[in-house]
Structure 1
Amino acid sequence: MSWILFTCFAAFCQAWRNALQSKLSKQLNVLGVTLARFLWASPLALVYLIGLYQWQPAEIPHFAAKSYFFIGSAAVMQIVATALMVVLFKQKNFAVGAGLAKCEAPVAALLGVMFFSTTLTYLGWIGVAIGAIAIMILSSPDKIKDISLKTIMIGLACSSAFALTSLWVREASLSLNIPFPHSAAWVLFLVITLQTLMLVVYLFIRDRQTLKHMVTSHKMMVMWTSLMSFLGSLGWFSAMSLQTVPYVKTLGQIEIFFMILISTYWLKEQTRKKDMLALVLVGIAAVLVMVH
């Protein structure tokens, strides 16, 4: 049941990462905030990989063509998903889009069953469905007229991109044919490093001013964002190496609990009644996927 601990840890770190990125989005452009997620995470991933081999030696993996495809695809798709999430931070009715972006579990379940040979039990499907309902309750606006078609489309595209990222990460880890946690550590390091290189090279060519701001004016905020992102990815990648993506992402919706705590005590925002209802439903969904 290690996947449960990894998922809970990942959800906690992701809640903080999202809060930090939301603040950064007011100071940097979309690509700058996206890079903040990866910039300092790649050296941390390398340290973790080396430390893992020092603690428990294992074989160096053999990378087949499909391994390169899964790693490359996951890296690109996570950049797309993160950029779309940052765009949502800038939308007027952010909560609706963010809620749709977090509908990753049902999207991953559908895509997984259709294209990745994923299987779910009846209890698992019920848990995924209840989790999706909880997210929609959490993100629903007080007035129907507040719903923007543009925000809805961005949110759905974001959730689909995150779901594909997760599915490809799991396939990449399984394709390496080395034991856990080494397989997850290799995928984590390679995906984050590839993402960092792509974004740094692009910004160096097209927008050096953003790079300058990231390492001077906003250095500490960027470092904290990268740290929380690395720890969150470590949790997600490890959990998805051990369990199918829909179960991991449904349990991961306990991020709502951490988001409410951060919102209440750090951002000083008032908790709504529907937030508590969503939290109860997420708890039910979490129990169902844990006992499936």
Structure 2
Amino acid sequence: MLWIPFTLFAAFMQSWRNAFQNELSKEVSTAGVTFARFIYASPIAGIYLWGLYQYKSAPIPSFSHTFLYTVLLASISQIIATALMVMLFRLRNYAIGVGLAKSEAVIAATLGALLFSAPLSSLAWAGVIIGAVAVWLMSNTGSLRQISLSTVGLGVGSGLAFALTTLWVREASLMLEVDFPYNAAWVLLFVISTQTLMLLTWLILKEPSTLSALWQHPKLTLSISLFSCLGSLGWFAAMSLETVALVKTLGQVEILFTLLISARWFKERLSRRDLLGLALIVAGAACVILA
């Protein structure tokens, strides 16, 4: 049951990371905000892995081509997911942007059933349907007959990319012939390092001014990297112990943290429809995990 505290820790850290990213998105481009979550994370991940080996020795795993390919897929998918979420922040308010992206949980459960031989029960499928209704409610800014396709597309796209990331991260951790928590720590270091290198190369070539903009917001950038790395540490550890569907459905508690941050920090007001949508996402997640 160790995956439960790791998941709750990850959800709490991620809710704050999203809040800091929302603030930075007002000053920096989408690519810059995405890079902010990785810029200081690699050293933190490296120190964590070094600390594990200092605490208790363990073998160094071998890294196959399949492992490296899976890490690359997870890295690219998470970059896309984060960029889409940042774009969501600019279309809707903070809480709703996160709520839409949390369609990740039901998408992960569905992909697990279709691609990883993990069929869903009737109760689980009910959760998937409830989650879909919640996404529709929160994306609809006008009357119930009007649907913002751009918001739905970004939200579901972000959720899909996050779901693929978690599935590939779990696969990568299972490939390593070392026990927990070393397998999760190695995957964390590889994924974050790959993402840092890719985004840094992109910004140097395409948006060098963005690097200067990040330098002008050192505390916010450091906060995003720190909370992002801690959140990823929790997610990767939990997913090395339990299936993605269970981890991500329990991780929906992040929405509750998000609501508190949204109300107390950003002073945002949510409509009844927004609150209903968020409640339905939690209900859908509960159906999946109870199933």
Cα distance between partner residues in 1 of 2:88 and 2:145: 18
Q: Deviations over 1:209-251 (max 9, x none)?
A: 2112212x11100000111111111111111111111221111
C-alpha displacement at 1:270, in angstroms? 3.5
**Pair 1:155–1:192, CA change in 2 (3 A):** same
Aligned position for 2:41: 41
> Match of 2:91, SS?
coil
C-alpha displacement at 1:147, in angstroms? 3.2
Judge conservation of contact 1:126–1:288 (CA < 8 Å) in 2: yes
TM-score by length of 1: 0.89
**Pair 1:234–1:132, CA change in 2 (3 A):** farther
AA of the residue aligned to 2:169? V
C-alpha displacement at 1:47, in angstroms? 0.6
- RMSD after superposition: 2.5
Cα distance between partner residues in 2 of 1:202 and 1:261: 35
Q: Comparing 144-153 with 70-79, which one deviates more in the overlay? A: 144-153
Cα distance between partner residues in 2 of 1:168 and 1:110: 15
Aligned position for 1:245: 244
Cα distance between partner residues in 1 of 2:91 and 2:284: 29
Q: Deviations over 1:244-274 (max 9, x none)?
A: 1122111111111101111122122335545
Cα distance between partner residues in 1 of 2:286 and 2:153: 30
Cα distance between partner residues in 2 of 1:5 and 1:124: 23
> After the TM superposition, which segments of 4 or more aligned residues of structure 1 sit over 4 Å from their partners?
92-98, 119-140, 271-292
Instruction: Summarize the alignment of residues 128-277 of structure 1 with structure 2, pairs less than 5 Å apart.
Output: 129-130=129-130, 133-134=133-134, 136-137=136-137, 140-141=140-141, 143-144=143-144, 147-215=147-215, 217-270=216-269, 272-274=271-273, 277=276
Judge conservation of contact 2:139–2:152 (CA < 8 Å) in 1: no
> Match of 1:154, SS?
helix
Aligned position for 2:106: 106
Judge conservation of contact 2:173–2:184 (CA < 8 Å) in 1: yes
C-alpha displacement at 1:165, in angstroms? 0.7
Count, aligned residues: 291
Judge conservation of contact 2:139–2:151 (CA < 8 Å) in 1: no
Instruction: Summarize the alignment of residues 29-68 of structure 1 with structure 2, pairs less than 5 Å apart.
Output: 29-68=29-68
**Pair 1:220–1:252, CA change in 2 (3 A):** same
Q: Comparing 181-190 with 130-139, which one deviates more in the overlay? A: 130-139
**Pair 1:199–1:180, CA change in 2 (3 A):** same
Cα distance between partner residues in 2 of 1:69 and 1:20: 31
Q: Comparing 85-94 with 138-147, which one deviates more in the overlay? A: 138-147
**Pair 1:111–1:212, CA change in 2 (3 A):** same
Aligned position for 2:14: 14
Stretches of structure 2 lacking an aligned partner (at least 5 in a row): none
Instruction: Summarize the alignment of residues 89-128 of structure 1 with structure 2, pairs less than 5 Å apart.
Output: 89-91=89-91, 98-121=98-121, 123-127=123-127
AA of the residue aligned to 1:246? A
C-alpha displacement at 1:118, in angstroms? 3.2
Cα distance between partner residues in 2 of 1:265 and 1:126: 33
Q: Deviations over 1:24-56 (max 9, x none)?
A: 111000110000011111111001111111112
Aligned position for 2:85: 85
TM-score by length of 2: 0.89
